[in-house]
Amino acid sequence: MPGLVGSLIAEGQHVSELPSFIWFQGIALIAILLQVMVLLERFHMMLMQSLADRTVAYHKLKAEMQERRRLEHEVARITDASGADWEMKSTTAYVSRSRPRFCVQKR
Protein backbone atom coordinates (compact mmCIF):
# COMPACT_ATOMS: atom_id res chain seq x y z
CA MET A 1 0.00 0.00 0.00
CA PRO A 2 2.78 2.51 0.66
CA GLY A 3 3.98 2.08 -2.93
CA LEU A 4 0.51 2.90 -4.27
CA VAL A 5 0.16 5.92 -1.98
CA GLY A 6 3.59 7.08 -3.03
CA SER A 7 2.61 6.94 -6.69
CA LEU A 8 -0.56 8.96 -6.04
CA ILE A 9 1.29 11.81 -4.36
CA ALA A 10 2.53 14.65 -6.53
CA GLU A 11 6.23 15.39 -6.23
CA GLY A 12 5.78 18.71 -4.43
CA GLN A 13 3.30 17.48 -1.77
CA HIS A 14 4.14 16.78 1.82
CA VAL A 15 3.36 13.45 3.41
CA SER A 16 1.49 15.21 6.23
CA GLU A 17 -1.20 16.37 3.75
CA LEU A 18 -1.74 12.81 2.51
CA PRO A 19 -4.55 11.55 4.82
CA SER A 20 -6.76 14.61 4.35
CA PHE A 21 -6.26 14.50 0.58
CA ILE A 22 -7.19 10.81 0.42
CA TRP A 23 -10.27 11.42 2.59
CA PHE A 24 -11.29 14.30 0.34
CA GLN A 25 -10.91 12.15 -2.78
CA GLY A 26 -12.84 9.30 -1.14
CA ILE A 27 -15.72 11.57 -0.14
CA ALA A 28 -15.82 13.14 -3.62
CA LEU A 29 -15.89 9.69 -5.22
CA ILE A 30 -18.67 8.54 -2.88
CA ALA A 31 -20.70 11.67 -3.72
CA ILE A 32 -20.35 11.01 -7.45
CA LEU A 33 -21.30 7.34 -7.06
CA LEU A 34 -24.32 8.25 -4.92
CA GLN A 35 -25.55 10.64 -7.61
CA VAL A 36 -25.21 7.94 -10.25
CA MET A 37 -27.00 5.44 -8.01
CA VAL A 38 -29.90 7.85 -7.43
CA LEU A 39 -30.22 8.54 -11.16
CA LEU A 40 -30.12 4.83 -12.00
CA GLU A 41 -32.73 4.06 -9.33
CA ARG A 42 -35.06 6.74 -10.72
CA PHE A 43 -34.52 5.44 -14.24
CA HIS A 44 -35.32 1.92 -13.05
CA MET A 45 -38.50 3.13 -11.33
CA MET A 46 -39.55 4.95 -14.54
CA LEU A 47 -38.97 1.80 -16.60
CA MET A 48 -40.98 -0.32 -14.17
CA GLN A 49 -43.86 2.20 -14.22
CA SER A 50 -43.74 2.26 -18.01
CA LEU A 51 -43.91 -1.54 -18.11
CA ALA A 52 -46.87 -1.55 -15.70
CA ASP A 53 -48.68 1.09 -17.80
CA ARG A 54 -48.02 -0.93 -20.95
CA THR A 55 -49.46 -4.06 -19.33
CA VAL A 56 -52.60 -2.19 -18.23
CA ALA A 57 -53.03 -0.70 -21.72
CA TYR A 58 -52.59 -4.14 -23.31
CA HIS A 59 -55.27 -5.69 -21.09
CA LYS A 60 -57.61 -2.77 -21.79
CA LEU A 61 -57.04 -3.15 -25.54
CA LYS A 62 -57.65 -6.89 -25.34
CA ALA A 63 -60.94 -6.34 -23.46
CA GLU A 64 -62.06 -3.72 -25.98
CA MET A 65 -61.24 -6.06 -28.88
CA GLN A 66 -63.32 -8.82 -27.28
CA GLU A 67 -66.21 -6.40 -26.72
CA ARG A 68 -66.03 -5.21 -30.35
CA ARG A 69 -65.96 -8.80 -31.60
CA ARG A 70 -69.01 -9.60 -29.44
CA LEU A 71 -70.88 -6.59 -30.80
CA GLU A 72 -69.97 -7.47 -34.39
CA HIS A 73 -71.30 -11.01 -33.90
CA GLU A 74 -74.48 -9.63 -32.35
CA VAL A 75 -74.99 -7.23 -35.26
CA ALA A 76 -74.39 -10.05 -37.75
CA ARG A 77 -76.86 -12.30 -35.90
CA ILE A 78 -79.54 -9.58 -35.86
CA THR A 79 -78.96 -8.83 -39.55
CA ASP A 80 -79.22 -12.51 -40.50
CA ALA A 81 -82.38 -12.94 -38.41
CA SER A 82 -84.14 -9.98 -40.05
CA GLY A 83 -84.28 -11.76 -43.41
CA ALA A 84 -84.62 -10.19 -46.82
CA ASP A 85 -86.23 -6.80 -46.43
CA TRP A 86 -85.21 -5.33 -49.73
CA GLU A 87 -87.36 -2.69 -51.28
CA MET A 88 -87.12 -1.39 -54.80
CA LYS A 89 -86.16 2.29 -55.00
CA SER A 90 -85.57 2.53 -58.74
CA THR A 91 -85.18 0.24 -61.69
CA THR A 92 -81.44 -0.26 -61.20
CA ALA A 93 -80.75 -0.05 -57.46
CA TYR A 94 -82.15 -1.68 -54.37
CA VAL A 95 -81.59 -0.40 -50.88
CA SER A 96 -82.13 -2.33 -47.69
CA ARG A 97 -83.99 -0.88 -44.73
CA SER A 98 -81.70 -2.61 -42.25
CA ARG A 99 -78.39 -2.74 -44.15
CA PRO A 100 -76.60 0.49 -45.10
CA ARG A 101 -75.31 -0.78 -48.47
CA PHE A 102 -76.58 -0.66 -52.02
CA CYS A 103 -76.97 -3.44 -54.56
CA VAL A 104 -76.94 -2.49 -58.20
CA GLN A 105 -79.01 -4.63 -60.54
CA LYS A 106 -77.11 -5.76 -63.66
CA ARG A 107 -78.88 -5.90 -67.00
Query: What pLDDT is attached to residue 2?
Result: 52
Query: What pLDDT is attached to residue 34?
Result: 97
Q: Mean pLDDT of successive 10-residue segments in the chain (107 residues)? A: 57 64 89 97 98 97 96 87 55 54 51
Q: In sequence order, what are the beta bridge partners of 27?
A: none
| Domain ranges (residues) in the chain | 19-63
Query: What pLDDT is attached to residue 105?
Result: 52
Global confidence as pTM? 0.48
For residues 92 and 104, the answer to whether their CB atoms sit within 8 Å is yes
Query: What pLDDT is attached to residue 6?
Result: 59
- Of 100, 79, 83, 102, the closest CA to residue 92 belongs to 102
